[in-house]
Structure 1
Amino acid sequence: MTRTGPLSAITVLDMSQGIAGPSCGGYFAEHGARVIKIEPPEGDWMRHLGTRIDGMSSQAIAYNRGKESLAIDLRKPEGRDVALKLAERAEVAIESARPGVFERLGLGFEALKARNPDIIYVSVSGWGQRGPNRERPMVDTIGQAVSGFMSAARSREGAPVKVDVPFIDAFTGLYAFQAASMALWGKAKGSGARHIDISLMQAAAHVQAPNILEYGFVGRPPGLLNPPAGNYRTKDGWIAITLVNQAQFEGICRAISRADVITDARFTTVAGRKENVAALRAILDEALTTRTTAEWVGLFEKEGALASGINTYSDWLTDPHVQAVEAAPYYALADGGKVPLPHLPGQRRYDAPVPTVGQHTRALLAEVGMGSKAIDRLLASQLARQGGEEH
């Protein structure tokens, strides 16, 4: 595979599974790095979750394009030795197990540093490498819960809401790539190894930094930022309404033919609208069910107010603007099908294939000096797996 891009001279050893770690490795691949994915003989567990698309999950396609796959059991000495040899020639290593697991495998930071004194070692975990919760498991839902996010994302009835998109995992992968690529920036050979500690907990907090800051100052939840922003039923669906200034509030009132609300003493200030939000929402609820979403969007735009229909993914994919800018170009699958795949912001489409489990096992074992007979024995023992063609 010909590699181009700013990181084309970099080799990354990606020993992670799931979303956060593999997405970090995926960003390295998309920027030109050689990324060697070490996964168990049965494959990264994320390959098998959700809808099967060309034999794998959508997450596997999104985050593993352009990698080489070596399927080997890292719990065995044979797997550990291969990983250590690959680490000797890598600039970056990524793992996403709970703290202590890779140390027990003989593949922790100190073990890789002993083989490669300049390595950047990225540990992605739920709670981080230190603290009383370091060995507790965490997934995206738990991250949303413990970070306070669910306390801020509530239904009208006040129930905490879980967002069914693993955004904390996704942000964690971006933060990991940012930290690792910055650690590489201007790094001189011989300047020493670095262990980068990336946690879902810290990522979830960082994306909510203004809310947490405000809570620390006032000693209570921030509350509504800009009432009556929110989602409202229309005659045929839903509309999202928001505002950032008084003029837009007045535009909302004019759009629903309730100019009297502008001068209502309960609603003339943001503080007043916060205090009387239930009454304000009731006015909007009553008005908005009288027209369709499209009609309301037109009226809001005419009055300089901010509103949008609440799209499905189908709505978004067929939006003329999305199509005009090729925000989700089709990605060709090995089975002849194609799927829309949003490209990384600031980058062009990335069409590199996804490796099958162990597709490059034999070649990578040979690369670290293993002879063909030894490779055959390792494959026969089922401690390693040679896969088929790429997807």
Structure 2
Amino acid sequence: MTQRTCKPYEGLLVVSLEQAVAAPLASCHFAEGGARVIKIERDSGDFAREYDKAVKGEASYFVWANHGKESLCLDIKDADDAALLHRILDRADVFIQNLAPGAIARAGFDAGVLRARNPRLITCDISGYGEEGAYSEMKAYDFLVQCESGLVSVNGAPGHPGRIGVSVCDIGAGMNAVIGIQQALIARAQTDEGSSVKISLFDTAADWMTVPLMHAVYGGKAPEPVGMHHPSIAPYGGFRTADGQMLAISIQNEREWVRLCADVFGEAEMATDPRFCDAAARVANRPTLDAWVTAHFARHGRAELERLLHQATIAYGGVNSVEDFSRHPQLRRTPVTLESGEEVELVAAPVRHSFAPANPRFGAVPRLGEHSEMIRAEFAAEAVPA
């Protein structure tokens, strides 16, 4: 039986007054799923358009988070433009915004006001620290939230806390927004009423920090930066092979430890050595253990070690550069058309459905204001029924 192709968000109108990363990523998810997404930009454009010029002269973050949308330039402080946006939202299903704290309410687009006009509207407000509390007015760039939440304190090398190398708080908040909106859409199907979704970057990071927080509050000591190691597992990390490559291993239980000693390194007796006989002992004696693993890795080339590790069913992986990753055999890509008309390949969507093509093409990246004239005509006052 042939599976019918469908777009789960087809028929939805999503309006997003957005900038930077979190809100654009959320609305882009709905565009990929078939929704019509109108991106509201000021005349100068979303500042993420100028983050870099890495993608054939266009910004990497913008290309990633904005394909498949329509771009409408509006000045929400202008009375006529504000009225236009209200008319659009009166017909919308979802409204997403991540302006500075308080800005959306001052402009007359508070969630309560909008849902009074359109009771089926789902609103999603994305902020840095939430709308209440001492930090609610703080600027909240991804790096600063990583710092405030303690994320940097558990990353990096010993004595050198480090920022996570991608904008994880922005990305995570965008994904949480998608989850929240999906839940609200299901609730609307049951009640025929819209609702409000509130997301903050700090809450997102705080959720991820639950385990370190519990260690600090209940265990008496928070995890410290350990580089590629793990605070409670050993051996765990990257080790150099004889040909200068690096492989990472992760020994998660005693069965794997026994096989590593006997089948990979040929020293079965090490499995019962008092210094390494259980997980706690191995962590306590990590420097000695790592020196022993390092010495064995240095005796074999990468290919030989991969063969031995695979045969022993030991978890391992290459410590790849981004260039290595770009050639990874498991990396899936999807083409997208840039503002310039040129084509590049993005990483394919991570979620695959049986009802969708195996590798659906992304919509084009919109030029600034590309759809303004069309949308203004469509939602002109005389075009909207009273």
User: Post-superposition shift, 1:192?
Assistant: 4.2
Q: 2:245 aligns with which of 237, 248, 252?
A: 237
Aligned to 1:281: 290
Say if 2:334 is the partner of 1:329.
yes
Say if 2:268 is the partner of 1:259.
yes
Say if 2:329 is the partner of 1:320.
yes
Residues 192 and 63 of structure 1, relative CA distance in 2, 3 Å threshold? same
TM-score (norm 2): 0.86
Structure-1 separation of matches of 2:206 and 2:32: 27
Residues 219 and 95 of structure 1, relative CA distance in 2, 3 Å threshold? same
Residues 294 and 77 of structure 1, relative CA distance in 2, 3 Å threshold? farther
Asked whether the equivalents of residues 41 and 71 of structure 1 are also in contact (C-alpha less than 8 Å), the reply is yes
User: Post-superposition shift, 1:45?
Assistant: 0.9
User: Post-superposition shift, 1:214?
Assistant: 4.3
Q: Which moved more, 1:68-77 or 1:332-341?
A: 332-341
Structure-2 separation of matches of 1:343 and 1:352: 13
Residues 364 and 330 of structure 1, relative CA distance in 2, 3 Å threshold? closer
User: Post-superposition shift, 1:259?
Assistant: 3.5
Residues 68 and 329 of structure 1, relative CA distance in 2, 3 Å threshold? closer
Aligned to 1:247: 255
Aligned to 1:212: 213
Counterpart secondary structure, 2:283: helix
Structure-2 separation of matches of 1:97 and 1:34: 21
Asked whether the equivalents of residues 334 and 361 of structure 2 are also in contact (C-alpha less than 8 Å), the reply is no
Residues 118 and 144 of structure 1, relative CA distance in 2, 3 Å threshold? same
Asked whether the equivalents of residues 98 and 136 of structure 1 are also in contact (C-alpha less than 8 Å), the reply is no
Asked whether the equivalents of residues 317 and 328 of structure 1 are also in contact (C-alpha less than 8 Å), the reply is no
Alignment RMSD: 2.5
Asked whether the equivalents of residues 117 and 190 of structure 1 are also in contact (C-alpha less than 8 Å), the reply is no
Structure-2 separation of matches of 1:52 and 1:205: 32
Asked whether the equivalents of residues 46 and 57 of structure 1 are also in contact (C-alpha less than 8 Å), the reply is yes
Asked whether the equivalents of residues 40 and 72 of structure 2 are also in contact (C-alpha less than 8 Å), the reply is yes
What residue identity is the alignment partner of 1:124? I
**Unmatched 5+ stretches in structure 1:** 373-391
Residues 245 and 357 of structure 1, relative CA distance in 2, 3 Å threshold? same
Q: 1:19 aligns with which of 14, 21, 29?
A: 21
Aligned to 2:181: 180
Asked whether the equivalents of residues 294 and 309 of structure 1 are also in contact (C-alpha less than 8 Å), the reply is no
Aligned to 2:82: 80
Counterpart secondary structure, 1:27: helix
Structure-2 separation of matches of 1:159 and 1:172: 26
Counterpart secondary structure, 1:75: coil
**Unmatched 5+ stretches in structure 2:** 225-230, 354-358
Counterpart secondary structure, 2:160: coil
Residues 216 and 248 of structure 1, relative CA distance in 2, 3 Å threshold? same
Q: 1:107 aligns with which of 106, 109, 125?
A: 109
Summarize the alignment of residues 20-99 of structure 1 with structure 2, pairs less than 5 Å apart.
20-99=22-101
Aligned to 1:201: 202
Aligned to 1:355: 366
User: Post-superposition shift, 1:72?
Assistant: 1.9
Structure-2 separation of matches of 1:321 and 1:229: 23
Say if 2:351 is the partner of 1:345.
yes
Q: 2:318 aligns with which of 293, 303, 309?
A: 309
Aligned to 2:228: none
Residues 340 and 102 of structure 1, relative CA distance in 2, 3 Å threshold? closer
Structure-2 separation of matches of 1:152 and 1:69: 40
C-alpha distance after superposition, 1:107-160 (max 9, x if no partner): 2223323332332110111111112111111222222222222222231x3321
TM-score (norm 1): 0.85
Structure-2 separation of matches of 1:341 and 1:154: 26
Structure-2 separation of matches of 1:355 and 1:168: 25
Counterpart secondary structure, 1:170: helix
Structure-1 separation of matches of 2:171 and 2:207: 13
Residues 192 and 350 of structure 1, relative CA distance in 2, 3 Å threshold? same
Structure-2 separation of matches of 1:103 and 1:251: 62
Counterpart secondary structure, 1:62: helix
Structure-2 separation of matches of 1:331 and 1:134: 37
Structure-2 separation of matches of 1:164 and 1:363: 39
Structure-2 separation of matches of 1:101 and 1:11: 23
